A and B are shown apart, each in its own frame.
Chain A
């Protein structure tokens, strides 16, 4: 006959109700012995373990009489009274406990509000489960690339040819500048979307006025958001009104057929007006070229259509219709995933924004944990202080369970107070957090469920913080405590040191993280841009400026306001057009590397201050044939592999272009993406020139120069409001993400160090209380102040040194993988870790020594006199 292993017996005795436990144990033993005979000892033991573990279920747990009998109200009030007394007796410790938890909780609260908001994205669409975005998956040069811009013709094809698709629409938001004119009112907007009528029935953007089913049917109709409509029409009813929209030299009249409710903050769409795609189709013809990826294709499947099924169907749609697209597959990616899970590596989803969410949640939890550890450590360290009380309670008949409840009440009160404080603190900090994150988060928009989770989390935190101390304190052996006054247990000390190691480990990782983020940001800021962003501005080439451009340019140059002026199709910080089908002599036909196109008229090398390494700038005055000239960058040269590039021709869009110059690589779009091959084209496509880049004179004061540009603009383009972009500000914009990471990481680091250090402070205060007499005796026997300080500090600092040793490699790996996300990255060096170590040790030494020096300086008489 085999008995139950001790730990299983213990487990069963803990979780099962007393009146049933005997028979349960008997059944377990019986089954176990039966199993030993039939399936062998090892398997029987394993099976027993799982069978026993399964008793951890509500049907059993809820039968425990105790859990159904909460402590009586009078006991609870007694516990709270005692808790308040204990808390007010040692005010410093209470302050440390509460403030540590409160700071940690408020930071976590802010971060979780943000995460919650991110997860609420697009959840409001009624058809969310049936919405998809069409993506391309292409085998290129041995790798699989995925991207989501698709040909215009994809949507109508899907709609027509596949029965399982209910709606498919093209959606485009090119961000071109359009002028709206209603009577005397002129407004410039770049937030227009082009899409098809069913868009309004697929996505839940309700119309306040107008009929969603028909609003976009007429090519000359337009739908505005409430805000924009008010902006244009004031309090008039906009429905049926006409508005003149102008782009370049074209003017079109649209009739307002719908007013959208303003878009909620939890959608990735950011349009302010919608123009039917049929408007473009009727004016410029339907773009049925499969090679032109210019729009998003949004799809809604019929109800109950399985994702896998529809994906198998649509996979080869491009292959069927496009002879040059045999390497491209189309797949439908769930719209709900498109925001958080949109990074693809070699054709398979590889996370995306979700990784950031996970890191931030871990960060939030760590900050709360550091606060919890303070509570655990300070409660167990001060066990001796409570020993007498516990013993007396035990001697007078308290069972362990009631003591556990008593200590849990204490931790609940602490956590409750901390939670209330954290709510206030987070409320005060939210506006600043919004500025850093560039969000409009609000506590009042959060649903009740969020607060229910918050309350649950507080409960969990109080169990986490109070659980161990409660069991530890209530299990102190009472007789020994009463007799000899209790001694600190060894395991408890180890436990405390381990927790301190964890606290400071988190702090170390955060310090290293902050340093690395800062270094990476500085690295990218100082990276060779390849063009000069200072004193470089651009204005959109709109309205009459198209016609008057030469005069505008001459005026700026002759006034000495500008040293060079050029037109381009796109700002250097935005991507406009790229192609994989450019050809040149000796090109490998399999090579489909993307080349970025920028159209310019002339003199761009001078205007943007690009560095020529061969040949010359495009110059129409001296070389009239330069409208078909191109300047390529180094990466493009490397790709094309010309020995002597000048004079070579490349073919694009059916035209031969002559290379006249090569420039050094410059940062195109942003330093966060790999430098790609770029070709600056002559103005054969003059219709696509839409910006004027102006190199401002450096000597004149900036306000004067800008004033002069504005005056010239007013003169030559009186109908359009003046809009000026500074190249450096636009360049800086891409750093927003890094800057907010930097701020959040920095703040979290300071907070983590602060909470960990006040915990350390609490521990030192306690240690010194205990060692008062020892210190007195040491001084009497001739110990120096320095010697005593060192002795006292050393033991407090040991866990921190250990934390540095254990956690530095961890932070190294973490930061290596973070830096791996950037094509251009700084390197990690030992200096960063050294800096982090010195910083944390310095702060810790300062914290501890405030206490130790004070006590070492004390007159020993004060501490020894009392005996």
Chain B
């Protein structure tokens, strides 16, 4: 995992795809991120992050069903790949490990 760099936003997007399972596409991820993380999220930023993650092989996508509320346009539904899952786990472990090294952490 030494030479893997994901920025914070990409990491979040990757996690969101894992969270949303079968229903992970641009608009849904944006709305869920806004709701769960309470921050402003731009649709185009989510798209860019998803494309990059797909390029890097952590996600794969297929064009999915069109619904009426989308004006008949299709969805691009993302699913996390094995290497994506491995990466997420590894990142989490590194976090926990680092967290353990913080001495007597208190909230001020």
Which residues does A use to contact B, with CB under 8 Å? 1, 3-4, 20, 22-31, 33-34, 51, 54-55, 57, 59-60, 63
Contacts and interface: CB of A to CB of B under 8 A. Distances in A.
Contact of A29 (B31, B69, B76): B69
Interface in B24-79: 25-27, 30-31, 42-45, 47-48, 51-52, 63, 66-71, 73-76
Nearest to B76: A23
Q: Is the interface of A mostly helix, strand, loop or mixed?
A: helix
A375 to B, nearest CB: 35
Contacts of A29: 69-71, 73
Contacts of B74: 22-23, 26
B48 A57 contact: yes
A34 B31 contact: yes
A29 B67 CA distance: 11
B3 to A, nearest CB: 21
25 contacts: A4-B71, A20-B76, A22-B63, A23-B63, A23-B73, A23-B75, A23-B76, A25-B71, A26-B66, A26-B71, A27-B25, A27-B30, A27-B43, A27-B70, A28-B27, A28-B43, A29-B73, A30-B67, A30-B69, A31-B30, A54-B42, A57-B48, A59-B44, A59-B47, A63-B51
Nearest to B48: A59
Nearest to A59: B48
B69 A33 contact: yes
Given A27-B25, A27-B70, A59-B44, 12 more contacts: A23-B75, A25-B73, A26-B27, A27-B30, A30-B69, A31-B31, A31-B43, A34-B27, A54-B43, A54-B44, A59-B48, A60-B48
Interface of B: 25-27, 30-31, 42-45, 47-48, 51-52, 63, 66-71, 73-76
A59 B54 CA distance: 13
A27 B52 contact: no
Contacts of A24: 26, 47
A57 B45 CA distance: 9
Nearest to A17: B51
Contacts, number: 77
A26 B73 contact: yes
B45 A54 contact: yes
Nearest to B61: A23
B71 A1 contact: yes
B63 to A, nearest CB: 7
A28 B70 CA distance: 8
A63 B70 CA distance: 23
Report the 7 A-B pairs with minimum CB-CB distance, sorted nearest first. A26-B73, A59-B48, A27-B27, A26-B70, A27-B26, A23-B76, A30-B27
A63 B66 CA distance: 23
Q: Which of B26, B42, B73 has the most CB of A within 10 A?
A: B73
Contacts of A28: 27, 43
B26 A23 contact: yes
A34 B26 CA distance: 14
A26 B69 CA distance: 8
Contacts of A51: 42-44
Contacts of A54: 42-45
Nearest to B73: A26
Name which of B52, B70, B75 has the most chain A CB atoms within 10 A of its CB: B70
A27 B48 CA distance: 13
